[in-house]
Amino acid sequence: MTPYKPEPSRESPVGRSASHSSARAVPVRALSRRSALRQLGLAGLSLLAAPTLAPALADELLKLPLPSDPRERPITHAFPQKGRMILQRTRPPLLETPMEVFDRGVFTPNDQFYVRWHWAVIPESVDVNTFRLAVRGHVNQALTLSIDDLLKMPRVELAAVNQCSGNSRGFFLPRVPGAQWAHGAMGNARWTGVRLKDVLDRAGVKAGAVQVRFDGLDEPVVPEAPDFKKSIDIDHARDGEVMIAYAMNGEQLPLLNGFPLRLIVPGWYSTYWVKMLSDIEVLDKPDDNFWMAVAYTIPDTPHANIAPGQTGVKMVPISRMEPRSFFTNVEEGSSFAVDTQLPVRGIAFGGDSGVAKVELSSDSGKSWQPTMLGKDHGKYSFRQWETNLALPGTGNHALMVRCTNLGGDVQPTSPNWNNSGFMRNVAETVQVVAI
Amino acid sequence: MSKYILVEYILVGCLTAGLLASTPALAEPLPAIKSTSVDLPTGDSLFPGGASADAINNNCLACHSTEMVLNQPALPKATWEAEVHKMINVYKAPIEDADVPAIVDYLVSTKGEK
């Protein structure tokens, strides 16, 4: 049994994929048949249950643990500045982060950070010498800022999770249309840039401003289609946390993650984190554009939950994230040596506040045991959790993990449902077998 | 002392002082921001199915590649009809009215709930 280390040495170097993650023996590492085979003999692990990943040449196809077909997705290395990714859609790109990446550390390497675009017209070249960020609208002095201008402003850094509103949509039952993500439409990075507040102050926000709208360089293929723009309230925009990032994990952003500038809205879903940010417009009335008023709206109910088919529900723009937690070294169908203490671990995040605790259940949620939390990188960051677990009898066991955030919100044990497949945050379950 | 540890000390100081939660990143060197050019994969494969896929191939691939559809689960016919009309009415897909039934038929036959 490997003792828990508060600062795990397996944490990957920021911005690079880890090459030393196998330095630490991990008896229950079962994220792929190959990695499981590597661990055979370390703790009596065997592979009675069907592995959920394609064997051996998993570089070609990977089987997501979705509730119905199609489950297989290609693994791709074909996207610029991107490494091994799950291909959900080529154009416009939807690239999912493989779950094992989250086992290597709390910071997601840039080259495996998930990718999601709405419109297919994405500039393939950005010249940082001519690029300008416009700040305009209900301000005293419109600005056109160069990258150099921003680099000269006070610099801030923040670790924050970026999660797609529809992360884990593929697990919704009944199934709903949309990108059929498993859990990898999320990532955590150290974002470096300037406070949005400082930029707005430089322009001088006029009295009566109510929202700030953000637009990027991407465009719809059909010019009449609604350009992707998002807005947040003026007080939120000036809270000193919302930032304009020019670096993630210490390096410039990959183009597909929003180079050269991306809005960072800590604790809020990624739909607001506008990529290739080029235009900031201060509004004196609420934004009623399609992407605020219709798209990315959720039922105004706890966990955005409704019954399938329910109508007449008040809809509101999606906003704050809720706590979530995941297993990163136990996969659906994994085998455990019975009555043997084995390390189980994963990641959690609190949503719009920090992680207070992460608990594990090995009896389908009837009882919960505490886990130890890893290093705290700030309230918006992933946080690792780890515990030791012994399964007391042979046969099937349902392992569950749940996070409680510092605001007191705890993951529910039954899943939410809505038409868009947004905001899943049920305590996740993996079925394992003790042998 | 690593640069990140130093940054975290600054963070602790800021929080203690009741200042901003974001961190003055004074310990970091300025990251180099360099002009970037890439080539994105074109994603120009066609829907399988021969003539039955003509309508969807002719109308739907300008805006997105085939996987948007092929990775969907089985869904009710009403859902597929709604998706096609959303593409037309909301996302302004220039789809010929006469082609709509053939597109819906293709979706229902390949991705319909049985």
Tens-place pLDDT, residues A72-82: 999 999 999 99
- Go through A401-426 and write b for each residue having 16 or more CB atoms within 10 A of its CB, e for each that does not: bbbbbebebbbeeebbbbbbbbbbbb
Indicate the average pLDDT of chain A. Answer: 89
Q: Span A20-43, mean pLDDT?
A: 32
Chain A partners within 8 Å of B31 (Cβ): 192, 246-247, 250-252
> pLDDT digit string (tens) for A54-65?
333 335 899 999
End-to-end CA distance of chain A: 18
Q: Span B21-41, mean pLDDT?
A: 78
Q: Span B7-15, mean pLDDT?
A: 40
Cβ count near A356 (within 10 Å): 17
Contact at CB, A246 and B79, closer than 8 angstroms = no
| Rounded CA separation A247/A262 (Å) | 9
> pLDDT digit string (tens) for B45-65?
999 999 999 999 999 999 999
B51 Cα to chain A: minimum distance (Å): 23
Banded model confidence at residue B28, pLDDT cuts 50, 70, 90: low
pLDDT at A141 exceeding the cut of 90: yes
Q: A307, exposed or middle or buried, with CB in 10 Å at 0-12, 13-18, 19+?
A: exposed
Enter the ipTM: 0.85
Q: What is the pLDDT of residue A160?
A: 98
pLDDT at B17 exceeding the cut of 50: no
Contact at CB, B91 and A70, closer than 8 angstroms = no
Cβ count near B30 (within 10 Å): 12
Banded model confidence at residue A111, pLDDT cuts 50, 70, 90: very high
Q: What is residue A312's DSSP assignment? A: S
Q: What is the pLDDT of residue B22?
A: 56
Contact at CB, A226 and B37, closer than 8 angstroms = no
| Rounded CA separation A64/A84 (Å) | 15
Q: Span A137-165, mean pLDDT?
A: 98
Residue in B with minimal Cα distance to A219:
B63
What torsion do the CA atoms of A304, A309, A314, A316 make, to the nearest 10 degrees?
40
Q: Span A286-302, mean pLDDT?
A: 98
pLDDT at B6 exceeding the cut of 90: no
Q: What is the pLDDT of residue A344?
A: 97
End-to-end CA distance of chain B: 62
Banded model confidence at residue B31, pLDDT cuts 50, 70, 90: confident
Q: Span A70-92, mean pLDDT?
A: 97
Q: Give the β-pairing of A72-76 and A61-63.
A: antiparallel
For the stretch A276-279, contacts whose Cβ atoms lie closer than 8 Å and that sit 24 or more positions apart, written own/partner, are: A276/A122, A276/A123, A276/A126, A276/A216, A276/A217, A276/A218, A277/A133, A277/A214, A277/A215, A277/A216, A277/A244, A278/A131, A278/A132, A278/A133, A278/A134, A278/A215, A278/A216, A278/A217, A279/A133, A279/A134, A279/A136, A279/A214, A279/A215, A279/A216
- Do A91 and B65 touch, CB atoms closer than 8 A? yes
A391 Cα to chain B: minimum distance (Å): 35
Which candidate from A66, A73, A177 shows the least CB-CB separation from B75? A177
Q: What is the pLDDT of residue B30?
A: 75
Q: Give the β-pairing of B23-24 and A342-349.
A: unpaired
Q: Give the β-pairing of A335-336 and A428-434.
A: parallel
A–B interface: beta-carbon pairs under 8 A: 151
| Rounded CA separation B71/A90 (Å) | 12
3-state DSSP: chain A helix, strand, coil percent, rounded to 5? 10, 30, 55
- Do A162 and A249 touch, CB atoms closer than 8 A? no
Q: Enter the tokens of residue B75.
A: 């869904």
> pLDDT digit string (tens) for A387-402?
999 998 999 999 999 9
Distance of CA B86 to the CA centre of its chain: 16
Please state the length of chain A: 435
- Do A82 and A112 touch, CB atoms closer than 8 A? yes
For the stretch A222-226, contacts whose Cβ atoms lie closer than 8 Å and that sit 24 or more positions apart, written own/partner, are: A222/B62, A222/B63, A222/B91, A222/B92, A222/B93, A222/B94, A224/B92, A225/A119, A225/B91, A225/B92, A226/A289, A226/A290, A226/A291, A226/B90, A226/B91
Banded model confidence at residue A329, pLDDT cuts 50, 70, 90: very high
| Rounded CA separation A22/A313 (Å) | 49
- What's phi and psi for B4, nearest 5 deg? -70, -40
| Rounded CA separation A29/A11 (Å) | 16
Q: What is the pLDDT of residue B25?
A: 54
Banded model confidence at residue B114, pLDDT cuts 50, 70, 90: confident
Give which of B38, B87, B92 to mutate to test A binding, by max A Cβ within 10 Å. Answer: B38
Q: Enter the tokens of residue A430.
A: 């993996």
pLDDT at B14 exceeding the cut of 90: no
Q: Which of A45-59, A378-392, B39-53 has the lowest average pLDDT?
A: A45-59
Q: Enter the tokens of residue A59.
A: 């570089």
Contact at CB, A158 and B23, closer than 8 angstroms = yes
Chain A partners within 8 Å of B70 (Cβ): 70
Contacts of A141 (CB under 8 A, 6+ apart): A202, A203, A204
Comparing CA positions, the residue from A208, A229, A207 lying closest to residue A218 is: A229
pLDDT at A30 exceeding the cut of 50: no
| Rounded CA separation A179/A284 (Å) | 34
Angle of CA points A199, A266, A110, to nearest 5°: 95
> pLDDT digit string (tens) for A247-286?
999 999 999 999 999 999 999 999 999 999 999 999 999 9
Contact at CB, B25 and A155, closer than 8 angstroms = yes
* Widest pairwise Cα distance in chain A: 71
